[in-house]
Chains A and B, each alone.
Chain A
Amino acid sequence: MTDPSTAVLQPTGRLNMVAAPAFKHLVEETVASGQARIVVDLGEVTFIDSSGLGALISGLKATRQAGGDLRIADVPEQVMTVLRLTNLDRVLRAHTTVADASDDW
């Protein structure tokens, strides 16, 4: 069973300057509703740009400020490459599956 305080978000397609503001907003709303543990399932994301990365990092800060965390799961290669390049894989640790990311907060 997934902990009710854990939310799973599933952005799809291109997480870019068009989609990033809505995603950031969704994370903020989720945190505001009391779910500060967020797993972002990136399995359906085909591309991430700098705005998308900014939204993920902003989500990470928002969850941590609320005493939670933001984890990413099922990370596509393009996203992983960008995370490694920017060393953000150090703070946004990639989990293989959503279930895996949802354990041991």
Chain B
Amino acid sequence: METAEQARVEAVRELGLLDTPPEERFDRVVRLAQGLFGVSTAAVNLVDVDRFYVKSAAGFEAGASVPRDVTFSARTIDLGEALVIPDAQKDAGWADHPLVTGEPRIRFYAGRPLAGPNGKVVGVLCLIDQEPREVSESDRALLDDLAGWVETELAADAEAVQAREIQRRLLPRKAPDVLGYDIAGRCRPAYTVGGDYYDWHLLDDTMLQITVADVMGKGLAAGVIAAGLRTAMRVAARSHTLMEAVRRTAEGLEDDFNDSATFATMFTARLRPQQGHLEYIDAGHGLAVLVSPGSPTRQLSSRDLPVGAQPGTIWTSHEARLLPGDTLIVVSDGLLDAFADPALAMRAAARLVASASSADEMADQIVAAAASAPLADDLTAVVVRREPA
């Protein structure tokens, strides 16, 4: 069972704002708070497991982490409502506190918890001064208003949460049922979601189209492009050859790629299951291998450019055979967070295949292999295994 504190910490982390630089949208609020209340210091603090991260500050420098237990704001969080200390020196609970007896010699403190987009408390807007002062009802209302403003800005970061949701919805719910094949896919989103997805669908009941793509960039923007790419590929694939489908998709999304300063690497393939015939296009993806027992592992790559990198690009189809017992593995560059070099990553993937007995297990192991490394990028793995004869 997840505790309330765990859920709270998760909400803070999902914002994706811990350890990020100051931003004008928050700085503006703390500057205004400092001026309106005439205090020496105002800050927006985000509360992690055991520390405060000063996201934005007026009167001192933002960017620091402060141990959670020593702060006034920790008390505000525990309280779950505004905490106002008119004069800490005269307050029995605070008079001996090191931040009162020593630097920064806090006399006045007012803190208002900040709720994240899902209602969980993620931080505190606080005011500090070296002189005691009283807080009127209208001051409290003002503090509420300012905190509400910060909360609105935090909700803009719900974007990160939405991005994760978009990505989740792009993924197929279950593996396709193809006689003689065992197929699995996994996508492990990074801390800040990138634009990875995988997709598969049957064409004319005779061919399986499989795509793994990675839209460069992060967050909602990458997610929206990924959604567009997936739809465009699905539609174009229904009535065109693989080469033409990729070309039309790229052409249709050209403006979107330009406007968002992004592009996508993509591996897309058509499999004729009975023959084990595989037609593929590697659009700058570079991370697909064919693992064949008793033969050297073969990388299925080309020198074709990613989609959206350069107008007028032509992509070429290549062919491969999936014999009984063979496995096709396609991963995304998130695997490179764990392996320095693409060749090493692909060899590791091949080793995992040799030791696992099902496509599900293989995909799980590939994702798990990178689990020890902090994932800066999404990690996607698709495994297509042709069952041994």
Please report A residues at the B interface, Cβ cutoff 8 Å. 16-18, 20, 24, 49-51, 53-55, 57-58, 61, 81-82, 85-88, 90-91
Q: A55 to B263, alpha carbons, bound, how many Å?
A: 10
Which among B112-120, B147-155, B300-308 touches the partner chain? B300-308
Other-chain contact of A54, B20, B192, B261, B310 (Cβ < 8 Å): B261
CB pair A87 B377 closer than 8 Å: no
Specify which chain B residues have a CB less than 8 angstroms from the CB of A85 in the assembled complex.
284, 286-287, 333, 336, 342
Q: A90 to B286, alpha carbons, bound, how many Å?
A: 14
B288-324, CB under 8 A of A: which get 1 and which 0? Answer: 0000000000000011111001100000000000000
CB pair B303 A81 closer than 8 Å: no
Other-chain contact of A50, B302, B304, B305, B377 (Cβ < 8 Å): B377
**How many B residues, CB 8 Å from partner?**
32
Least distance between A22 CB and chain B CB atoms (Å): 10
Known: A49-B376, A85-B286. Is A91-B261 also a contact (CB below 8 A)?
no
New A-B contacts (15) at CB < 8 Å, excluding given A17-B218, A50-B195 = A24-B261, A49-B377, A50-B218, A50-B377, A51-B216, A53-B263, A54-B216, A54-B217, A57-B262, A86-B286, A87-B302, A87-B303, A88-B309, A90-B305, A91-B305
Specify which chain B residues have a CB less than 8 angstroms from the CB of A90 in the assembled complex.
303, 305
Complex A-B, nearest 7 residue pairs according to Cβ-Cβ distance, in ascending order: A58-B261, A50-B216, A86-B284, A54-B216, A87-B284, A85-B286, A54-B262
B214 interfacial by beta-carbon distance below 8 Å: yes
Q: A17 to B218, alpha carbons, bound, how many Å?
A: 7
Please report B residues at the A interface, Cβ cutoff 8 Å. 20-21, 192, 194-195, 214, 216-219, 258, 261-263, 265, 284-287, 302-306, 309-310, 333, 336, 341-342, 376-377
Ordered by A's residue number, 18 sampled pairs between the chains whose C-beta atoms are within 8 Å are A18-B20, A49-B376, A50-B194, A50-B195, A50-B333, A53-B263, A54-B217, A54-B261, A54-B262, A55-B261, A57-B216, A57-B309, A61-B310, A81-B342, A85-B284, A85-B287, A87-B286, A91-B305
Interface of B is mostly: loop
Least distance between B251 CB and chain A CB atoms (Å): 15
CB pair A88 B305 closer than 8 Å: yes
Known: A49-B376, A49-B377. Is A91-B309 also a contact (CB below 8 A)?
yes
Specify which chain A residues have a CB less than 8 angstroms from the CB of B285 in the assembled complex.
86
Least distance between A103 CB and chain B CB atoms (Å): 23
Least distance between A20 CB and chain B CB atoms (Å): 8
CB pair A87 B305 closer than 8 Å: yes
Instruction: Report which residue of B216, B342, B377 has the largest number of chain A beta carbons within 10 angstroms of its beta carbon.
Output: B216
Q: Give B196's nearest chain A residue, CB to CB.
A: A50
Known: A85-B333, A87-B303. Is A57-B263 also a contact (CB below 8 A)?
yes
Q: A78 to B310, alpha carbons, bound, how many Å?
A: 23
CB pair A86 B218 closer than 8 Å: no
CB pair A57 B286 closer than 8 Å: no
Q: A20 to B306, alpha carbons, bound, how many Å?
A: 19
Specify which chain A residues have a CB less than 8 angstroms from the CB of B286 in the assembled complex.
85-87
Specify which chain A residues have a CB less than 8 angstroms from the CB of B376 in the assembled complex.
16, 49
Instruction: Report which residue of B192, B217, B285, B336 has the largest number of chain A beta carbons within 10 angstroms of its beta carbon.
Output: B217
Least distance between A62 CB and chain B CB atoms (Å): 9
Least distance between A98 CB and chain B CB atoms (Å): 24
Q: A18 to B217, alpha carbons, bound, how many Å?
A: 11
Other-chain contact of A17, B214, B217, B305, B336 (Cβ < 8 Å): B217
Q: Give A58's nearest chain B residue, CB to CB.
A: B261
Instruction: Report which residue of A16, A53, A81 has the largest number of chain B beta carbons within 10 angstroms of its beta carbon.
Output: A53
Known: A50-B194, A50-B377, A57-B261. Is A87-B216 also a contact (CB below 8 A)?
no
Q: Give B378's nearest chain A residue, CB to CB.
A: A50
Q: A53 to B217, alpha carbons, bound, how many Å?
A: 8
Instruction: Report which residue of A16, A50, A51, A54 has the largest number of chain B beta carbons within 10 angstroms of its beta carbon.
Output: A50
Specify which chain B residues have a CB less than 8 angstroms from the CB of A54 in the assembled complex.
216-217, 261-263
